[in-house]
Structure 1
Amino acid sequence: MRSIAIRLQELDDDELEDFVDIWLHNRSALYYRTERLGKTSDKGRDVVGFVTDQLHEGDWDLYQCKRKTRGSKLGVGEALKELGKVFYHHLKGEYATLPRKYVFVSPRGITGPLQTLLLNKEKLRTALVDQWDETCRTGITRNEEVPLSNVIRTVIDAYDFTRITYLTGTLLAKETDAGPALSKVLNLVPDEAPEAEAPETVCEVEMVYLDQLREIYGETSGLAFTTINDVLAHPVHAGHLQLQRTRFFEAAAFDRFHRDNTAPGAMETFKKDIFHTVIEVYRESHPSRLDRVNAVMKHIGMTQVSLLGRMSRPPVRQGMCHHLATDGRLRWTR
């Protein structure tokens, strides 16, 4: 199977910008808003992450996507031209502040000379000034030549060039929070979600479905179980309840893993598939409500439901029914 880095190299321009946009969206803790701006008049911006609601009047990060052609890497000339655009459009008033961080996203890599400049920031600044006429004067805009004025030179001298960095396909593939973007754009299915066990102490997050089961156990045994611990002390129902708790946390681990590593919406589709798989069995007549729970568990345990083509394990599917009971789509006590 081809590596992720190679598949990233094969993305076209739109797909690469989509990938970066989805990746940044998944990093929502870092940004107030992310936006894809890449087009003919993007004024040097492909995808941006705004740190606050001040948008371009506050801190923002710029991700400049450079797909390049097959076998080609991003070189010094094109990189300097893109940097020149940012300083030019900033001075034109298109954005009040310069980017907090500037990232070249080049899946096919960068040339050796450009890498040298990007790893030696003062050399990068010097190259931009020295090669301005060659790379920027006629390359920034089609409508006019842009000579290196004293004003532009002052802004370049004041800017912190340590903010400028790069990501190749190999580096992108290592980003731990790029899973949803890889899943959405490359149709990649992540590895198996981790298994889980129920904690010894009952947690608040599981109380909705547990209270439903507590009522059902009381109805079945003719005992008034006041707390979940009462059920866990019962010689028959304790084992059954503990099994349901394990399934619930198996599903919770599965949910967290795939929300972090698969395309947006994939988990909700999986839950809907679980619901439609069990709803007929759920609605059938059963001798008791506990028999209904067991019938649903047996049915979903034997029926495969996949997420993005990968089959899920039985305890995950069974535990997801308890999540549906928690959010109200299924109620064990109806």
Structure 2
Amino acid sequence: MVLSISAAQLVCRYNFLSSVSTGGLRRPNADVNSLDLYYEIYMRSIAIRLQELDDDELEDFVDIWLHNRSALYYRTERLGKTSDKGRDVVGFVTDQLHEGDWDLYQCKRKTRGSKLGVGEALKELGKVFYHHLKGEYATLPRKYVFVSPRGITGPLQTLLLNKEKLRTALVDQWDETCRTGITRNEEVPLSNVIRTVIDAYDFTRITYLTGTLLAKETDAGPALSKVLNLVPDEAPEAEAPETVCEVEMVYLDQLREIYGETSGLAFTTINDVLAHPVHAGHLQLQRTRFFEAAAFDRFHRDNTAPGAMETFKKDIFHTVIEVYRESHPSRLDRVNAVMKHIGMTQVSLLGRMSRPPVRQGMCHHLATDGRLRWTR
């Protein structure tokens, strides 16, 4: 049975199952109920770790998470500081920035044993309406999200799940929560202008994320990796497609030239090599390795911290470059020597071991990039 699990969930599942392997529990086989149980237990532990983040770490987490959702945003930006004007992390939908659609993620760390309550939440909402009317941003947020890993109080949850009650509470409690809480230098009474903007705003845009909800968010993998130092599950294995793809042609053309040099034959196309009784098997093995590395690259770019995959590639390069530069009887011998060396030499990504075909295939990606040309 195949389970459909998000990037963040893959991160959590790997770490929990790895941690319990030394604690007397066995890794489940096809027992989906056991897997679900283990997963839920570990998700709770991730939520607890998110609760321990300080203010900067929490904003950093949200910023990385939004950055990984690049399909949703033209640009993301972390603004949280003393003069953030009610904005911690924002995602701009278009190049119109604050003159167009944008989403606001307001981070509330809270201390141990406390949750985000009604008064503080209403004050934050009041800031947005105030600074909008002051001209700090021409449009109000398309979506407003309270990010509170330690959770929200029952009364606040009731308001957030009943949006008209939230609107009414903001108006009724303005003097108590916003009048002296929005700025340090002046009182902000509930003027008719502010009331009009509040009445016109769609309060269904306002929602919240707790630690548990945030841990389960799609595309949270890189943020979990970067901020919590979590390592995702094993990347999926891959096979080379029957038809040669355009993305392969750079390194394959290099190998085609080398095979011709070795055999004394003029291979015009890759298919000519694939028809050769000796070189066909060798070439097909290299293709499989290339696609193993491609699957590894794509998986970890989606699920690890920015820059982790490029560091892995650099480590591969520095591991093989001396063997690559040595004298060899032929250029095919150079390829085989590099494959043998990297196949036996471990290179890890964020402390997690990589499989030999991934490391070997990454050398073909380096050849494609021009950093490790086989036809040098």
If the TM-score is normalised by the length of the shorter chain, which range does it land in? over 0.9
Partner Cα separation in structure 1 for residue 44 and residue 261 of structure 2: 57
Q: Give ranges in structure 2 of 5+ residues lacking alignment.
A: 1-42
1:197 paired residue number: 239
Q: Deviation of residue 2 (structure 1)?
A: 7.6
Partner Cα separation in structure 1 for residue 218 and residue 340 of structure 2: 36
Give the RMSD, CA atoms, in angstroms.
1.1
Q: Deviation of residue 134 (structure 1)?
A: 1.3
Partner Cα separation in structure 2 for residue 213 and residue 159 of structure 1: 63
Q: Which moved more, 1:110-119 or 1:272-281?
A: 110-119
What secondary structure sits across from 2:44 in the alignment? Answer: coil
Partner Cα separation in structure 2 for residue 41 and residue 302 of structure 1: 54
Partner Cα separation in structure 2 for residue 268 and residue 281 of structure 1: 21
Question: Percentage identity across aligned positions?
Answer: 100
Deviations along 1:143-194, one digit per CA (max 9) or x if unpaired, are: 1111111111100000011111111111111112111111111111111111
Deviations along 1:25-71, one digit per CA (max 9) or x if unpaired, are: 11122112111111111110001111112111111111000000012
Q: Deviation of residue 114 (structure 1)?
A: 1.0
2:119 paired residue number: 77
What secondary structure sits across from 1:103 in the alignment? Answer: strand
Q: Give ranges in structure 1 of 5+ residues lacking alignment.
A: none
Q: Deviation of residue 116 (structure 1)?
A: 1.3
Contact 2:293/2:362 (<8 A) preserved: yes
Q: Deviation of residue 261 (structure 1)?
A: 0.7
What secondary structure sits across from 2:170 in the alignment? Answer: helix
Count of aligned positions: 334
Q: Deviation of residue 289 (structure 1)?
A: 0.7
Partner Cα separation in structure 2 for residue 2 and residue 209 of structure 1: 46
Deviations along 1:207-226, one digit per CA (max 9) or x if unpaired, are: 10001111111111111111
Quick one: higher RCO (CA 8 Å, sep 6+), 1 or 2? 2
Aligned to 2:267, which of 212, 225, 236?
Answer: 225
2:40 paired residue number: none
Aligned to 1:286, which of 328, 334, 352?
Answer: 328
Q: Which moved more, 1:275-284 or 1:179-188?
A: 179-188
What secondary structure sits across from 1:104 in the alignment? Answer: strand
Q: Which moved more, 1:216-225 or 1:241-250?
A: 216-225
Partner Cα separation in structure 1 for residue 259 and residue 109 of structure 2: 60
Partner Cα separation in structure 2 for residue 114 and residue 135 of structure 1: 14
Partner Cα separation in structure 2 for residue 157 and residue 324 of structure 1: 58
TM-score (norm 1): 0.98
Instruction: Please identify runs of 4+ aligned residues in structure 1 that moved more than 6 A.
Output: none
Q: Which moved more, 1:292-301 or 1:106-115?
A: 106-115
Does residue 94 of structure 1 match 2:107? no
Partner Cα separation in structure 1 for residue 349 and residue 185 of structure 2: 51
Partner Cα separation in structure 2 for residue 17 and residue 159 of structure 1: 26
Contact 2:44/2:212 (<8 A) preserved: no
1:150 paired residue number: 192
Q: Which moved more, 1:29-38 or 1:101-110?
A: 29-38
Partner Cα separation in structure 2 for residue 293 and residue 31 of structure 1: 43
Partner Cα separation in structure 2 for residue 287 and residue 141 of structure 1: 76
